[in-house]
Amino acid sequence: MKNNCAIILAAGEGTRMKTSKPKVLAEVLFKPMLDWVVDRTRQSGVEDICVVTGHLSESIVTHLDEGIETIMQHERLGTGHAVMQAKDFIARHGDANVLVLAGDAPLVDAASISSALKLHKRALNAATVISAKVENPFGYGRILRDRDGALLRIVEERDATDAQKAITEVNSGAYWFKAQALLTALEQLQTAHKMSPPGKSKEYYLTDTIAILAKLNLDVTAFDARTSHVVLGANDRVQLAALNEIARREELNRHMLNGVSIPCADGIIIGPDVEIGADTLILPGSILRGKVTVGTGCTIGPNALIENSFVGNGVCLNATQCAESSVADGAQIGPFVRIRPGSTIGACTRIGNFVEIKNANVGAETKIAHLSYIGDADVVQDVNIGCGCATVNYTGKEKHRTVIKDGAFIGCNTNLIAPVTIGKDAYTAAGSTVTEDVPDNALAIARARQVNKKDWVSTKKPYKRQNV
């Protein structure tokens, strides 16, 4: 089979975004727009991708994964000129089809891309433009058809007559080309246009390739994607917010139809790479970003922030922030808990308020109920850690690990000075600073005896009661 390829245009500056980053790295649901376009391209079955960079090229090249080619457009002379830079890339796919996509139109979907390709191949087209009807076509290239509905050409806003401006079918900026036809059209592309904006170099419009190919009596078609999402881009942060809202609502609906309960969607942002099981309840203010899997029957939120993590079934994550970690079935966590990267939380473990877990393995059936920090630690299982405990993992120079074995009981306000091991079923007395290993079954105690100084308060009067 012929090896189709894709060119993604990512050179734009996006001045109105007022950003020091490349425009195509602006995020929708915490995922750069360019990554949406790359992922959708791959989902539609196209693997060979060339990204045309320009403004802040370096950051884009660094951002992309290694499998993607990049080519620099040194002068910004329009979309046609951008595609010209990829001439060699196109030539290498000379007997296949080339998908051209805008790097700042993240909501183009794989189904539309694939359906357009099917039509493109069946109709033996030289070019197939993906179009959509929109309510307000202002700013978009209009799709001009003849009386029979055949595509004639695309006319840009600035070149359109009033009659043409009334057309609501617009260009998405996504196209399929036969590679050879695209190369031919690019060679004939010219800059002459009625009205170039003052102070701007004349531009080569990729849209003009359609008219060129039509004049050569090659078949060109507009494929109506029947969803305005394919055309949507963002030129400023208000439009970026609108894209986010559309994508957000789509994701929420997808999960609800899968059986996820969302009684109030306010403040809930679920990224495109998140899977959630049925009968899970998501409460307001919860953000799930990056690659996240959540099982069935969980309660997530309110105000959970979960990032690149795995969460089993029947888990509760109440007002908990959890990053790059995994939480096993039945764990009850929160409120006000933070699980930092590199942690695994065992099944049915209970982690209560004001607890931080960092780079630690916490085994099943363990209880860490309050106000503790467990970092760089291996807690085997069925351990009870009292209130206010700390693994003292940092000497100022190095970090060391703490090991707490099966069934140990760590008394309140215990300091565990790592490296240290607490034995199986061992016990530490509340208020102890434990510097040496504690054998299995032993009690470690390190504290001073209590002395009561009688009448000390009436004599010394160290403080005054407020209401006496």
Residues in 323-362 at the binding interface with a second copy, rule: CB under 8 A = 335-336, 338, 352-354, 356
Distance of alpha carbon 136 from alpha carbon 153, whole angstroms:
20
Amino acid symbol at 405: K
State the burial class of residue 369 (Cβ atoms within 10 Å of its Cβ: 0-12, 13-18, 19+). middle
Residues in 140-179 at the binding interface with a second copy, rule: CB under 8 A = none
CB 1 to a second copy: min, Å: 38
Distance of alpha carbon 440 from alpha carbon 407, whole angstroms:
10
Catalytic residue positions, numbered: 370
> Is position 318 an interface residue for a second copy (rule: CB under 8 A)?
yes
> Is position 299 an interface residue for a second copy (rule: CB under 8 A)?
no
User: Do residues 27 and 69 make contact, with C-beta atoms less than 8 angstroms apart?
Assistant: no
Tell me the window of 3-11, 47-55, 189-197, 317-325 that interacts with a second copy (CB under 8 A). 317-325
Tell me the window of 56-64, 69-77, 192-200, 445-453 that interacts with a second copy (CB under 8 A). 445-453
Q: Looking at beta carbons only, is 62 or 450 nearer to a second copy? A: 450
Q: Quick one: which of 46, 48, 61 has its CA closest to 11?
A: 61
Distance of alpha carbon 384 from alpha carbon 367, whole angstroms:
5
User: Do residues 116 and 110 make contact, with C-beta atoms less than 8 angstroms apart?
Assistant: no
User: Do residues 28 and 244 make contact, with C-beta atoms less than 8 angstroms apart?
Assistant: yes
* Tokens 């979960």, located at residue: 306
Residues in 217-236 at the binding interface with a second copy, rule: CB under 8 A = 236
Q: Looking at beta carbons only, is 290 or 297 nearer to a second copy? A: 297
Tell me the window of 48-56, 77-85, 176-184, 460-468 that interacts with a second copy (CB under 8 A). 460-468
CB 420 to a second copy: min, Å: 10
Q: Looking at beta carbons only, is 190 or 253 nearer to a second copy? A: 253
Q: Looking at beta carbons only, is 50 or 418 nearer to a second copy? A: 418
Residues in 385-404 at the binding interface with a second copy, rule: CB under 8 A = 386-388, 390, 392, 394-397
CB 395 to a second copy: min, Å: 6
What number of other Cβ atoms are within 10 A of residue 217's Cβ? 7
CB 381 to a second copy: min, Å: 8
- The HSE-up count of residue 59 (CA atoms within 13 Å, CB side) is 14
CB 56 to a second copy: min, Å: 13
Q: Looking at beta carbons only, is 117 or 434 nearer to a second copy? A: 434
- How many residues belong to the site for a second copy (CB under 8 A)? 117
Q: Looking at beta carbons only, is 204 or 427 nearer to a second copy? A: 427
User: Do residues 176 and 117 make contact, with C-beta atoms less than 8 angstroms apart?
Assistant: yes
Number of residues in the chain: 468
- Cite the DSSP H helix spans in 357-405: none
Beta strand 320-323 with 305-307: parallel, antiparallel or unpaired?
parallel
Distance of alpha carbon 350 from alpha carbon 321, whole angstroms:
15
Our CA dihedral for 204, 210, 213, 218, rounded to 10 degrees, sits at 170
User: Do residues 51 and 70 make contact, with C-beta atoms less than 8 angstroms apart?
Assistant: yes
CB 10 to a second copy: min, Å: 19
Q: Looking at beta carbons only, is 119 or 265 nearer to a second copy? A: 265
Q: Looking at beta carbons only, is 77 or 292 nearer to a second copy? A: 292
CB 383 to a second copy: min, Å: 9
Residues in 233-292 at the binding interface with a second copy, rule: CB under 8 A = 236-238, 240-241, 244-245, 248, 253, 256-269, 278-279, 283-285, 287
Q: Quick one: which of 170, 173, 179 has its CA closest to 151?
A: 170
CB 268 to a second copy: min, Å: 8
Distance of alpha carbon 269 from alpha carbon 25, whole angstroms:
18
First to last CA, the chain: 91
* Options 193, 370, 400, 401; binder of a second copy; rule CB under 8 A: 370
The dihedral built from the CA positions of residue 323, 326, 330 and 331, taken in this order, carries a sign that is: negative
Residues in 405-434 at the binding interface with a second copy, rule: CB under 8 A = 407, 409, 411-413, 415, 417, 425-427, 429-434
Distance of alpha carbon 152 from alpha carbon 147, whole angstroms:
10
Per-position x/- string for 11-50, each x denoting binding to a second copy as judged by CB under 8 A, each - no binding? ------xxxxx----xxxxx--------------------
Distance of alpha carbon 82 from alpha carbon 232, whole angstroms:
20
Q: Looking at beta carbons only, is 58 or 436 nearer to a second copy? A: 436
CB 172 to a second copy: min, Å: 23
The residues, ordered by sequence, that sit 6+ positions from 206 with a Cβ below 8 Å of its Cβ are: 78, 79, 80, 82, 83, 100, 175
> Is position 462 an interface residue for a second copy (rule: CB under 8 A)?
yes
